[in-house]
Amino acid sequence: MPIQHTVVFRLIHAPGSAAEQKFFADARTALGGIPGVADFEIARQVSAKSDLTHRFSMAFVDESAYRAYDEHPVHVAFVAERWTREVAQFQEYDYIVL
């Protein structure tokens, strides 16, 4: 069954800053380029109801593809080297598409 992986988050960087833009560009290249990732998307929150300001979303054909992404060295490195240092707060949601 297809899986939709979504992470909503807030960065430590100022909105619109060069550091913020670099984070997004690097994420698009690194995470979006991992085999099995489909429909990689970065979005900005526009509602004042949440202090989490951005979203990464991607799709996987099945749980095996999702697990391969989660364990992929590029993903592991991005989380260790960028995510843990540059993300102030986040929530992760993984859905099985019905």
Q: Is the pLDDT of residue 61 over 90?
A: yes
CB 58 within 8 A of CB 41: yes
- Which string of b and e fits 13-30 if b means at least 16 CB within 10 Å? beeeeeebeebbeebeeb
Give the pLDDT score at 54. 98
CA-to-CA distance for 72 and 18, rounded, in angstroms?
A: 27
pLDDT band for 97, please (50, 70, 90 cuts). Answer: confident
pLDDT band for 33, please (50, 70, 90 cuts). Answer: very high
Number of domains in the chain: 1
Q: Containing domain of residue 82, as a range? A: 3-96
Give the pLDDT score at 76. 98
Give the pLDDT score at 98. 83
**Taking the model in full, what pTM does it have?**
0.93
Q: What is the CATH number of the domain that holds 79?
A: 3.30.70.100
